Chain A
C-alpha cells in the first residue's frame, strides 16, 4: 500500500529566510504524481506545486521548489524568501497515475513564519 510520511509536525522560519519541508513516500509504482498543498487557517486547500514522477527535473513555482529523489522516494519542498503569508499547514500528497485522482496525504507540517 502507498504511504506518505511527513516527519516534521512543525517548523519555524524567519521572514525572508529559506525553509525545507520533508516528505517521504512508499510505492511500488513507477508512474505517479506528487503534490504539496497548503492549508491556511481558512481551511481552503491550495495546490502549491506538483511533480510528475517520470520527470527528472525538479518542479519550481516562483519561491517554491522541490527536491525530488525518486530512488530515495523523497519529495521535499523548499520555500525561499519566506513571507508571513506562507504560514499554514503543508501537506504532501501522492496520486497514482491511474486516472482515479484519489490522493494519499501525509500528516502535515505546520509552518510558522516569524517576523
Chain B
C-alpha cells in the first residue's frame, strides 16, 4: 500500500497569486498524477508527473498555469498560478505503486477569492 499526504489540506487565496501543493508518499511509486475536482463535479486528470522531466498535461491544462515538479520517486508539487475564482477546487494527488495499485491522497481544498 501507499500512504499519501498533501500539504496544505486547504487554503484560501487571493486572485492573481499562486499556490504550491505538495504530495508526499511513504514509499517509492511508479507513477504520480494530479487531479482536479471542481465543486460538485467529478475528478479530471490534470497531468502525469514525470520524475526528472516535464509533466505530461491533459487537454485543457498547460504548464504555465499548472507547473508540476517531481524531483524523486516519492514527492511531487503542483502549482496553481495566477489564480482566479474558477480555480477553486479540490486538487488530489494520485500514485501507482510497483504492484500496480492506485491510491489517492486526501486532497487540497483551494478557495480563490
Residues on A facing B (Cβ under 8 Å): 37, 42-45, 47, 91, 100-103, 105-108
A99 to B89, CA, bound (A): 28
27 residue pairs from A and B, CB less than 8 Å apart: A37-B104, A42-B106, A43-B92, A43-B107, A44-B104, A44-B106, A45-B92, A45-B94, A45-B104, A47-B102, A100-B48, A101-B31, A101-B33, A101-B96, A101-B100, A102-B45, A102-B48, A102-B58, A103-B43, A103-B45, A103-B102, A105-B42, A105-B44, A106-B42, A107-B41, A107-B42, A108-B41
A-B residue pair count with CB separations less than 8 angstroms: 38
Interface size range of chain B in the complex: 20 to 34
Interface SS of A by simple majority: loop
Q: Min CB distance, A25 to chain B, in Å?
A: 13
Interfacial chain B residues near A47, Cβ < 8 Å: 102
Docked Cα-Cα span, A100 to B100, in Å, equals 11
Task: Say whether B112 faces chain A, with CB atoms less than 8 Å apart.
Answer: no
